[in-house]
Amino acid sequence: MNKILFLLPFLAPLAWGANTLTLDLVTLERETLAHSPRLSAMRETAQGADDQAKAQRSHLWPTLSVDGSYRYQTEVPTIKVNPLSPGVELGDNPNYSVGPAIQWLAWDSGAVRNSAKALSLQTSAKIQDVRSMENQLRLATQVGLFQVQGSAERVRLLADGLRLAQAQRNDVELRTKAGAASRQDLLQAETEVLSRRTQFREAQTAFAIELRTLLALTGATGNYDLARPIPADLAARLPADIPAPSMAIELEPPNSLRTRFASAADRPFDPARPEILSLGFQADAAEKSAQAARAGHGPALQLAAKTSLDYPNGPVHEQINQKSVGAVARWPLFEGGRVAHEVSAHQSLARASEEKRQQMEEDLYRDWQRARDRLAGLTEEEILNKESVDQQMRFSQMVYDSYTLGKATFLDVQAANLGLIQNQVRLVITQVDVLIQLAVLSSLTSEVTP
């Protein structure tokens, strides 16, 4: 079954036979997290590490078991008290023993306890890795949606440019028939329309690719026809003479998303990022492993008790209820430096993890600073680009008015229109970059503004 079923309620047929596909950020993030095989694998790894820690901790408790043994011997040893007396068998052919037994590692100088703590810390590190992956997937989804919105805006702009070129072509055609424009002007106007249609089609293709990339994050495998997608709000004002769109895409307004992420620009860097915490837990885990290895220099005491049904009772062929208790103590005196090297190895890993943690914190803090600097520059660029678009729009209209009065050529009109589209596209790219930087800042900052 398709994993994009969450979108089906938002599919609605349009008048020209295509469907509308609604995409919203919250749903996309949820479906991305639910689909990601990598995230699922990391969650399973964290669960496995937790089970391993619990398994190690279980060694602190006594072990209860049922022990049993059976042996059959063909020759039974005999003994004679004196040469004239008959031999006495020291047992029987069949031999067996069965009964419950309990064992307990009463003291091991902290080896098991510290090993369990090390594994628990490793579990905590893997849980933080899961959180980090979730943040990365959310950021990837956000960036993917912002790029889709940028592509959608470019389709809108080029649709407007195509409609303008078609209107100017129709005007030039009328002027040519009236003798007020040359055949050359008409050919140039036709060329302008073809150029705008080509650019519009390229924009549709780029829009489709961005959509496929975004939907792939959610695990969508539906056979959606994205050959000629358009933004849903463009359906009522499509240019003439273009193939019917295959699907309309309803997107959240960029301004609402920008408002949602705007607070990230003022939030401080969060030093408790999952990536940093994970390496901290790894350093602590390595230190606990070193303590566990150091316990190899200390004594260990194991206690045992058993009650069993045994046969035979020595030379007497009968079953007996045998009870036994015991203790085994061990204190290594020489092991060739093995323990010392193991301790040193784990301590080196602890120091390495701590150095990595510091480097990770520095790298993330640098990324936060760079995103803030980038956002500040993009915000100013956006203001300048808006002014450029406004001025170029007025200039394009002035050039066309001059052309209608015979004071400019149609080449001047084409150049002015091209400049307008370039400025508009530049503005869209800047606005998408602003959203991306806000998303990056959101992923690197704390949720509460101090």
Q: Is 302 helix (H, G, I), strand (E, B) or coil?
A: strand
pLDDT score for 447: 65
Give the pLDDT confidence score for residue 131 in this predicted structure: 96
Q: What is the pLDDT of residue 345?
A: 95
Percentage of the chain modeled with pLDDT above 70 = 95
State the angle between helix axes of 111-177 and 37-57 in degrees (0 to 180), rounded to the nearest 10.
170
Using alpha carbons, select from 149, 177, 337, 330 the residue that is nearest to residue 252. Answer: 149
CB atoms within 10 A of CB 99: 16
Domains of the chain: 5-72+90-444 (1.20.1600.10)
Q: Give the tokens for residue 192.
A: 């302008």
Record the pTM: 0.85
pLDDT tens, residue by residue, 330-388: 999 888 899 999 999 999 999 999 999 999 999 999 999 999 999 999 999 999 999 99
Cα–Cα dist 51/57, whole Å = 10
CB 54 within 8 A of CB 281: no
Q: Do 151 and 203 meet the contact criterion of CB atoms below 8 Å apart? A: yes
Q: Is the pLDDT of residue 292 over 80?
A: yes
